[in-house]
Structure 1
Amino acid sequence: MDDQNKNLILAVVLSGIVMLGWTILFPAPETVTDPNATVTEVANTDAGQTTAVAPPAATGTAEAPSVAETASASAEAPRIAIETPRVIGSLSLVGGRIDDLSLKDYKTEIDGDEIVTLLEPVGDATPYYATYGWAPGGALTVEDVPGANTLWSVESGSELTPDSPVSLIWDNGKGLVFHREISIDDNYLFTITQSVENAGDAAARLFAYGVVARHGTPERTVRSPVLHEGLVRLSDKELDEEKYKNIVDFDYDPREGGKVSVVSVEANGWTGFTDKYWMTSLVPQPGQSFTSVAKYVEAGNIYQVETRMPTVDVAPGASVTTTSFLFAGAKEWETIKHYQDDNGFYRFVDSIDWGWFWYFTKPIFRILHALHGLIGNMGWSILILTLIIKGIMFPLAYKSYVSMARMKELQPDMEKLKEQAGEDKEKLQRGMMELYKKNKVNPASGCLPILLQIPVFFSLYKVIFVTIELYHAPWIGWIRDLSAPDPTSILNLFGLLPFAAPEAGSALAFLSLGVLPILLGISMWLQQKLNPAPTDASQAMIMAWMPWVFMFMLGNFASGLVLYWICNNTITFTQQYLIMWSHGHRPDVFGNVLRSLRLKKKGA
């Protein structure tokens, strides 16, 4: 096998590795249906019937909380309506649980009327809810404390709004009276204040808890290793993110009745479940010690997170009160930061999935958010952000562009060396190195800006892919959702033909290029024309195909990301063109293209 064929095979293999790695790191959206989340299963399962004993070091001898409730009990429960400017739903008086919540500001489809449902009661297709209460210890039993099927009475309030909290009461008939006040703000934060009065003759041992339970493995709208969905919790300074498949792999503890991970928190923390755009988190009072529990109950396929307060002894005639919070809503940076700064929720903005390059992702998002506040359009904000990033990197890129311009000027000399060396590869390499040294050109200097752009591009990808601020955000014309792929398709001539484009995930979706992906391919191709061609014919052929390969690879990416890449390529092309011009090289890119087309036409 000659060297040329070896180089061709090597180039093809390397290109395949690049494309495989790209699709792994940046997969296109893929609809996934989870076979475990069946309606029949979740509707007929009692939720989390745990009778385990909590870890003695954290909670004394009190029992772990139980969230068991039947579907019939949930359906027959009296309810109190919840309505704020941003959410609507209800809470159940059976268990006093918050299990019905929808988000007014977000629709499931950009052209639809259905709003996003976050929480659902037992008996619905995908039960997901929060509940609070007290767990018994000492001489108390589960009948002595309010449980999942306890029917609470309304002490005050008929509707939960930002201006009207609701108070519930339950008397166990044995000297203990339990109160629960629930309030909500204008956004997504519930405040739950629980108290117990001991009118009996003996001390009562118990502890307060909060639970978020989720039945069935949630369906994922996209399958991507760069997107975290599942457990997210902060335990003092330790941020923990576990996917649902990892929760299932926790160690089984017979005392808990499931697979658990238990962490003692000294002062600050929170725990919950996060989706791509939504989150439900339990947040104790800042400075409050508690036990953070993540659990998987195999019977019913139920995931739970719990916050367990320290066990207390309530003396006769005394009372105990504890306050905690529930965040249930959209992961809006500004809202979450407000709770962090004004409510003291330690590092609450880290509940947003900033990714590996958070030191780039956070400032990029801050700039993008500020630009959006000034302009009011995310598409134009992305374009201006690209200009800012290119401006910051220009001093470094300048040296690279100068080097590439000088290499372009050396192209005729390199062709002569190639002719003189013939098949002697070693002679060719020596001649090229001498040519570079003589003209003070470093061929590797062009790689540095590209390497620096990788974490920046990855960070911007995270921002556009994960943050809800891009959700259903329009730009211009046909781009009405920057978080979704370009809806146009070359297969129906961009809407001129009377049939729809292939749906995402279908066999033809890969070929269904929209306007933006095609512009991306053209911008990459034009930029490539300014760079010196590889001396090896096989490598040159592979490089010639790369713009079009990437055009298809990025075809189903978010429009906002493709928009950034087009803008980035256009600015790079302009900068490089002007720098080459200033150094005496006159790149005739468009003339070369026209001449190439004319030659092909004559040959035909």
Structure 2
Amino acid sequence: MDDQNKNLILATALSFAVILVWFLLFPPPEKEVVDPNAPAVTQQEAAPGTAPTAAPATGTTGTAAATVTEAATADAPRLTIDTPRLAGSISLQGGRVDELSLKDYRETLDADSGNVTILAPLGSEHPYYALFGWAPGTGLSVDQVPGANTVWSLESGSTLTPDSPVTLAWDNGAGLTFRREMSVDANYMFSVRQTVQNSSGATVTLAPYGVIARHGEPVSDKSSPIVHKGSISMSDGELSETKYKKITKLDYNQREGALAEVTQVTEAGWVGFTDHYWMSTLIPAAGTPFKSVVKYDEARDVYQSEAVLKTQELAPGQTIEADMRLFTGAKEWETIRNYEENDNVTRFVDSIDWGWFFFFTKPIFWLLHTLHGLIGNMGWSIIGLTIVIKAIVFPLAYKSYSSMAKMKELQPKMEELKKAAGDDRQKMQQGMMELYKKEKVNPASGCLPLLIQIPIFFSLYKVISVTMELRQAPWIGWIQDLSAPDPSSILNLFGLLPFAAPDQTSFLAIISLGVLPILLGVSMWLQQKLNPAPTDPAQQMIFAWMPWVFMFMLGSFASGLVLYWITNNTITFIQQYSIMRFHGYKPDVFGNIKSSFKRKKPEKE
């Protein structure tokens, strides 16, 4: 076997192994009976009338606040939220932001599908909400600060919109008046300003806080196993991600009274929970020190993230205030980048799970986003992205294919060396190395384009899997969601037969190939036919099966990724054919195809 074939086989085996391991780690999705975009699922229902601790430990003093419980009353007064992109309400019992849906996003592509729900109140199937308050310090008891059961009064405003903020008020009857001014922008950001006015004759201390509570772990979206789902926080420039299962295994924190992870933030940060496409985070004002807490209440199966600001002293006649923001909505790159750049939310774009190859993933997504802005269709933008990437790596490809053409020209000389060396392999290897050096040929250069494609492939897979912009993005005809597998099926002749294709969760989905996976297999097969089949029977078998194995393996991947691979193969075929022709070697594609269907007669001894 010559060095060229050895390197080609090695590269093929490596790429095959990488994708095989990927396929084993991330198999086709199992059947789900509920919508994967549902905000939460309660593994262990909370006892009626209970909720997580609403008053965390008081900032720098370390004084533990009492546990507050709340009753989920269906008739609690509510305040409507109505923005161009959000619909929901605030419960005046506790002042919780606990009912929120997205006007721009539906759960599925079905015409009768409902809007995606982000937050849900106590008493619903999957409670998930945000609340704010003050933890009592010196001179105060739990019942003297607003808690999760406190019923606030509406002091100003009637409906929370981008143009009309609202103010809630509560008097504790002991000289302290609490107010909560709430506003919302045209996207997904709430601003909450809490104030306390002291009309009593005593000095007290108290700490403002924000809490996001989630009852039960969210429904697992098994179609996207590489996407982080769990707590996410930024603490002075350091990103931290903890999956839900790992949260349940945190060490017990005596001060927090729960399994907890506590981080002291000095300059800037945020903390919350992230799903596949949606996120809820608490964002204290930049430059404000706070305690970032992620905790788990085992008794009620409640996950909780907290931002606890520094304890403040409030003298008689004084008023203190604390600002915090709440982001709850879709992780749209442009929207959260705007918050990062214009509203001073540190590294907010990193709330998107860019993965290990972030240095590839971020620029690839930027380019894809830019092309989409120009073209207006994400499918054609993926094709345009592939063309741009191929143009960037063209010098490397040119060098590689030129080397391959020269290797073909050297075939007669290499055969002569083999005959002259006989069984002396060392002599043959030395002769070939001298020949390569004389002709300035690098037999390993043919592997370089394949090796550079591997990180690009994984980066694009990450982009298509995690970014909001690819969700339910149509291309043409039957491809209405580039983040999902091709829905067509060869089993019903792509819709010609009067029965539906097997569901993606079915075992038959493995052989239920759509149009795009089949085109992928064909494009790989044609690319292979640029070279004659190797003479070695083992190599012949590997090369013969490789395109079709990849076709089945990648058939369940997102349509956008398969579209990229088809385009990449097509451009590679054109480039390789043209460059090899330019260097005097004319690939006999049709002859190679014809010979692959002929059966060779066994040689007689």
Give me the TM-score of the superposition, normalised by structure 2: 0.91
Provide the residue aligned with 1:5 in structure 2: none
Output one character per residue of 1:227-262: Cα deviation in whole Å (capped at 9) or x when no partner. 111111100111111111121121101321211111
| Aligned CA distance change for structure 1 residues 191 and 422 (closer, same or farther; 3 Å) | same
| Aligned CA distance change for structure 1 residues 534 and 215 (closer, same or farther; 3 Å) | farther
Provide the residue aligned with 1:356 in structure 2: 356
Output one character per residue of 1:333-384: Cα deviation in whole Å (capped at 9) or x when no partner. 1110111111111111111111111111111111111111111101111111
Write the letter of the residue equivalent to 1:107: R
Write the letter of the residue equivalent to 2:233: R
Between stretches 323-332 and 218-227, larger displacement belongs to: 218-227
* Within-5 A mapping of 1:270-309: 270-309=270-309
* Within-5 A mapping of 1:226-265: 226-265=226-265
Secondary structure of 1:222's match?
coil
Write the letter of the residue equivalent to 1:78: P
Give yes or no for the alignment of 1:157 onto 2:157: yes
Provide the residue aligned with 2:5 in structure 1: none
| Aligned CA distance change for structure 1 residues 426 and 256 (closer, same or farther; 3 Å) | same
* Within-5 A mapping of 1:72-111: 73=73, 75-111=74-110
* Within-5 A mapping of 1:504-543: 504-531=504-531, 536-543=536-543
Secondary structure of 2:507's match?
coil
| Aligned CA distance change for structure 1 residues 241 and 193 (closer, same or farther; 3 Å) | same
Secondary structure of 2:232's match?
strand
Contact 1:62 1:207 in 2 (8 A): no
Provide the residue aligned with 1:498 in structure 2: 498
Contact 1:48 1:302 in 2 (8 A): yes
Contact 1:206 1:311 in 2 (8 A): yes
Secondary structure of 1:551's match?
helix
* Within-5 A mapping of 1:84-483: 84-112=83-111, 113-222=113-222, 226-411=226-411, 429=429, 432-433=432-433, 435-483=435-483
Write the letter of the residue equivalent to 2:82: E
Distance in 2 (CA, whole Å) between partners of 1:509 and 1:258 is 44
Distance in 2 (CA, whole Å) between partners of 1:245 and 1:532 is 52
Contact 1:66 1:147 in 2 (8 A): no
Distance in 1 (CA, whole Å) between partners of 2:578 and 2:115 is 50
Between stretches 62-71 and 311-320, larger displacement belongs to: 62-71
Contact 1:46 1:68 in 2 (8 A): yes
Secondary structure of 2:570's match?
helix
Secondary structure of 1:69's match?
coil
Contact 2:531 2:587 in 1 (8 A): no
Contact 1:69 1:122 in 2 (8 A): no
Distance in 1 (CA, whole Å) between partners of 2:298 and 2:428 is 66
Q: CA RMSD in A?
A: 2.8
Between stretches 476-485 and 425-434, larger displacement belongs to: 425-434
Secondary structure of 1:41's match?
coil
Contact 1:81 1:91 in 2 (8 A): yes
| Aligned CA distance change for structure 1 residues 405 and 25 (closer, same or farther; 3 Å) | farther
Distance in 2 (CA, whole Å) between partners of 1:355 and 1:247 is 20
Contact 1:43 1:123 in 2 (8 A): no
Write the letter of the residue equivalent to 2:60: T
Distance in 1 (CA, whole Å) between partners of 2:328 and 2:321 is 23
Measured after TM superposition, the shift of residue 411 of structure 1 is: 4.5
Contact 1:234 1:269 in 2 (8 A): yes
Between stretches 205-214 and 426-435, larger displacement belongs to: 426-435
Contact 2:278 2:329 in 1 (8 A): yes
Secondary structure of 1:346's match?
coil
Distance in 2 (CA, whole Å) between partners of 1:387 and 1:49 is 54
| Aligned CA distance change for structure 1 residues 238 and 352 (closer, same or farther; 3 Å) | same
Contact 2:403 2:445 in 1 (8 A): yes
Provide the residue aligned with 1:46 in structure 2: 50
Provide the residue aligned with 1:6 in structure 2: none
Write the letter of the residue equivalent to 2:51: A
Secondary structure of 1:445's match?
helix
Distance in 1 (CA, whole Å) between partners of 2:164 and 2:55 is 36
Between stretches 531-540 and 301-310, larger displacement belongs to: 531-540
Distance in 1 (CA, whole Å) between partners of 2:75 and 2:418 is 85
Distance in 2 (CA, whole Å) between partners of 1:309 and 1:65 is 17
Output one character per residue of 1:447-500: Cα deviation in whole Å (capped at 9) or x when no partner. 122222222221111111110101111111111111111110111111111111
Contact 1:178 1:197 in 2 (8 A): yes
Aligned residues: 588
Contact 1:484 1:557 in 2 (8 A): yes
| Aligned CA distance change for structure 1 residues 537 and 67 (closer, same or farther; 3 Å) | farther
Output one character per residue of 1:80-117: Cα deviation in whole Å (capped at 9) or x when no partner. 11111111111101110001100011111112331100
| Aligned CA distance change for structure 1 residues 159 and 50 (closer, same or farther; 3 Å) | closer
Contact 1:175 1:200 in 2 (8 A): yes
Output one character per residue of 1:301-340: Cα deviation in whole Å (capped at 9) or x when no partner. 1111100010001000101011110000000011101111
Distance in 1 (CA, whole Å) between partners of 2:14 and 2:344 is 50
Measured after TM superposition, the shift of residue 581 of structure 1 is: 0.5
Measured after TM superposition, the shift of residue 418 of structure 1 is: 6.7
Write the letter of the residue equivalent to 1:63: A
Structure 1 residues not aligned, in runs of 5+: 1-9
Distance in 2 (CA, whole Å) between partners of 1:342 and 1:52 is 31
Write the letter of the residue equivalent to 1:582: F
Measured after TM superposition, the shift of residue 162 of structure 1 is: 1.1
| Aligned CA distance change for structure 1 residues 60 and 11 (closer, same or farther; 3 Å) | closer
Secondary structure of 2:525's match?
helix
Measured after TM superposition, the shift of residue 26 of structure 1 is: 5.4
| Aligned CA distance change for structure 1 residues 65 and 464 (closer, same or farther; 3 Å) | farther
Contact 2:95 2:132 in 1 (8 A): yes
Distance in 1 (CA, whole Å) between partners of 2:224 and 2:143 is 45
Write the letter of the residue equivalent to 1:204: V
Secondary structure of 2:69's match?
coil
| Aligned CA distance change for structure 1 residues 68 and 547 (closer, same or farther; 3 Å) | farther
Secondary structure of 2:393's match?
helix
* Within-5 A mapping of 1:50-65: 53-54=57-58, 58-64=59-65
Write the letter of the residue equivalent to 2:71: T
Give me the TM-score of the superposition, normalised by structure 1: 0.91
| Aligned CA distance change for structure 1 residues 414 and 491 (closer, same or farther; 3 Å) | farther
Distance in 2 (CA, whole Å) between partners of 1:419 and 1:509 is 51
Contact 1:486 1:558 in 2 (8 A): yes
Give me the identity figure in percent: 62
Contact 2:43 2:301 in 1 (8 A): no
